[in-house]
Amino acid sequence: MADTLRTHRLRNAFLYFGAWTLLGAFFASQTVVYSLISGRPADWRRAFLYQLPDAWSWALLAIPAFWLARRYPFSAREWPSALAVHWPAALLMAAIEGMTSARVLMSAGLIGGGASNWTLMRIMIAKLHTNLATYALVVGAAHAFDWYRRMRDRELAASRLEASLSEARLEALKTQLQPHFLFNTLHAITALMHTDVERADMMMARLSDLLRQSMERVGRQEVTLREELEFLRGYLDIQQMRFGDRLRAHVHAVPEVLDAMVPALVLQPLVENAIRHGFGERVSGGRVEVLARRAQEKLRVEVRDDGAGLPEAGVREGTGLSNTRARLQQLYGPAQTLELEPTPGGGTRVRIELPLHLASEVGT
């Protein structure tokens, strides 16, 4: 871990000083181009000796300048105190850089006048404006960096908050379904207690299994279609005990979609609606089909019944259907559809289409 951190710091230092070196080389090339345009011979050595020491000096000076900019930012309320800090700091760093540059140029013999204090002062004054501008650019870069970091942190915080709210809404919708399912099933068991105690006892045992499966799903918004169908078959077993031969149920899914991810408890309320509104009060009973297959890059699941069909006045969505629609919208947005339509010969079909995501693809 320590070696990795050291390597990371060395790489960042290399990139940092490399960037300043490239900046110095850029201005050196500009000096050469200016000499050629002016009709003077190109002197790359002189150009680099003029520019690279400036760049390397500022590579070092920019570090405390950057720290000061973040420690004393120019804000609407604090700009006077920030100016009181930055103005002397800028003058000091300009003097240090000018003195360093002058020493290099004197040592290389690139300026006349000898190594006198006056020559040194003259070079420092000549470079003052450029150095003050460079300090201002460093301070501006520090402010831009902090602004970017704050914006990024706000976006991350907003994203986390949105995800948390979305998860909370989904959990609330899912939690509404569980008591709804439990209440209706217990109501069916209670009704059966007066006519067939043994069958009611079997239904209670099967309900216990379903509640155990439901508890195992706590915190999971999506499960595989295989798990969802297993839960649905348990629910249909209870309904089969209740209705007997009046209920003819058929569940079929092609093998390639059994590992597709679907919302937990998405099919039970649709099947419950099909039984209750389709033929629950009809003496002859009826048939419910659940079919799942692939439709291009979508998972298509249909719940069909041969009951009374859709009312002419339109469908009034109850808890199960409206809740399911809200959960699908929350989880998949416009990539999902839930449609109700009459079937030829009577009955209703509920069709759901979801993005086809296999468990192996999402790491479940």
Please determine, for residue 201, whether its predicted confidence score (pLDDT) is greater than 60: yes
Question: Is residue 73 over pLDDT 60?
Answer: yes
In terms of domains, do 271 and 314 share one?
yes
Q: Which of 99, 126, 153 is the last residue of a domain?
A: 126
Query: Is the residue at 185 inside a domain?
Result: yes
User: Which single residue is written with the structure tokens 């006056």?
Assistant: 118
Pairing of strands 348-355, 286-295: unpaired
Mean pLDDT of the residues in the chain: 80
pLDDT over 90 (residue 209): no
Task: Give the pLDDT of residue 44.
Answer: 78
Of the candidates 131, 112, 126, 53, the residue with the CA atom closest to the CA atom of residue 45? 53
88 and 172 housed in the same domain: no
Q: How many CB atoms lie within 10 A of CB 5?
A: 9
**Signed CA dihedral, 242, 245, 246, 250: sign only:** positive
Q: Would the pTM of this model clear 0.85, i.e. be above it?
A: no
Considering the domain architecture, whether residues 166 and 94 belong to the same structural domain is answered as no
In a domain, 148, yes or no: no
pLDDT digits (tens, 9 = 90+) for 290-308: 999 999 899 999 999 888 7
**Tokens 């449609």 correspond to what residue?**
339
**243 within domain boundaries:** yes
pLDDT for res 295: 92
Can you tell me which residue has the tokens 């103005």? 87
Q: What is the mean pLDDT of residues 252-275?
A: 89
134 in a structural domain: no
**Cβ proximity of 65 and 135 under 8 Å:** yes
Summarised one tens digit per residue, pLDDT across range 219-233 is 677 889 999 999 899
Q: Do 23 and 81 fall into the same domain? A: yes
109 falls within a domain:
yes
Domain annotation covers residue 314: yes
**CATH code for the domain in which residue 259 is found:** 3.30.565.10
Query: Is 358 found in the same domain as 251?
Result: yes
Backbone angles phi, psi at 285, to 5 degrees: 75, -155
168 found inside a domain: yes
Question: Which residues form the domain of 303?
Answer: 161-362
* 116, 221: one domain: no
Q: Are residues 113 and 244 in the same domain?
A: no
Alpha-carbon distance 348 to 275, whole Å?
11
- Decide: 362 and 261 in contact? Cβ < 8 Å: yes
Provide the number of structural domains found in the chain: 2
Q: Residues 240, 337: one domain?
A: yes
What gap in Å lies between CA 178 and CA 175, rounded to an integer? 5
Note whether 95 and 175 are same-domain residues: no
- Do 348 and 230 lie in one domain? The reply is yes
Query: Final residue of a domain: which of 81, 104, 126?
Result: 126
Question: Does some domain include residue 48?
Answer: yes
Residues 255, 304, single domain; the answer is yes
Using the 3D structure, point to which of 103, 126, 149 is the last residue of a domain: 126
Is residue 70 over pLDDT 90? Answer: no
What confidence category does residue 331 fall into, taking pLDDT thresholds of 50, 70 and 90? Answer: confident
Under DSSP, the state recorded for 218 is: T
Q: What angle (nearest 5°) sits at the alpha carbon of residue 87, between those of residues 86 and 89? A: 60
17 pLDDT above the threshold of 90: no
Residue 136 has pLDDT above 60, yes or no: yes
Tokens matching residue 213: 């499966």
